[in-house]
Amino acid sequence: MSICRTDRPRSIVITGASTGIGAACALDLDQRGFRVFAGVRKEADAQRLRQQASERMVPLMLDVTDAEAIAAAVETVAADVGPAGLFGLINNAGIVVPGPLELVPIDKLRMQMEVNVLGQIAMIQAFLPLLRAARGRIINMSSISGRVAAPYLGPYCGSKFALEAFSDALRLELRNWGIKVVLVEPGSVATPIWQKSREAADEASGQINADAVALYEADLDALRRVTQKIADNAMPVEKVLRAVRHALYARRPRTRYPVGTEARLTYRFLRFLPDRLRDRVIRRGIGLP
């Protein structure tokens, strides 16, 4: 069933639509009748979306850390949607910088924040006039890592905690214009991010002094094993798509959508434990000695 009730389809901008959750959202919403502007960084990804989607799909060459690219995207979208404005902005672009915080290079940590936090805010600032025209919705793709921090994912967790705080503030600030701000908080999802994270971790380890890496060797070995198990049992992306659809369709969407058993347990239980007990539960749960 399509959400569109007029001759002109409602328009959605999605960042990080090359693979994973972003690509799945772009294709799903295209099938449901939306005009989807899908942010990608490579022409090959744009071409793949064109082949899989309807003629409504519009790939955008978009890097959320590039102000000129964002401005060009706004110009393209504005020319297309006109006074109808933008129905939704889905901020999905993100990267994972793994590793012990002691050893993560500051430039890598800065890039984590640039993509996962500042890039999302830059997109919101740029598209707010179009969203205001349509009383649109902002959906920020967070994570259970935005509610409870995990060891060796400090940069990523920090970025998601920040995104949660920014989203809470925006929800209050944009209420006067009827703009809904929603957080989707998935647990482990079966997407290419697991392979990308492992590759990033291996690359980072190769660039760090071996003696320093050895300090964390036991923990990192245990973490690799449990990460593979989590990836093997990750939930299908369709569960995330259902949350996104509800956030777009519902007259009064929830402020947060924890997705999956991990996320629901974290949301309802783990985050309320005393700090030291939570630390023990997390370390034991991910197999750290």
Active-site residue set: 156
What angle do helix axes 119-134 and 154-173 make, rounded to 10 degrees?
Answer: 30
* Rounded Cα distance, 173 and 189, in Å: 31
- Residue the block writes with tokens 């990804």: 45
CA distance 104 to 14: 29
Burial call 67-94: b when 16+ CB within 10 Å, e when fewer: eebbeebbebbbeebeebbbbbbbbbbb
Residues 6+ apart with CB under 8 A from 285: none
Distance CA 161, CA 195 (A): 23
> 285 pairs with which residues across the strands?
none
Q: Give the CB-side neighbour count of residue 239, counting CA atoms within 13 A.
A: 18
8 A C-beta contact, residue 95 and residue 158: no
Q: Please give the helix or strand (H or E) that residue 220 lies within, else none.
A: helix 217-232
Query: 57 and 30 in contact (C-beta within 8 Å)?
Result: yes
C-beta separation of 66 from 41 below 8 A = no
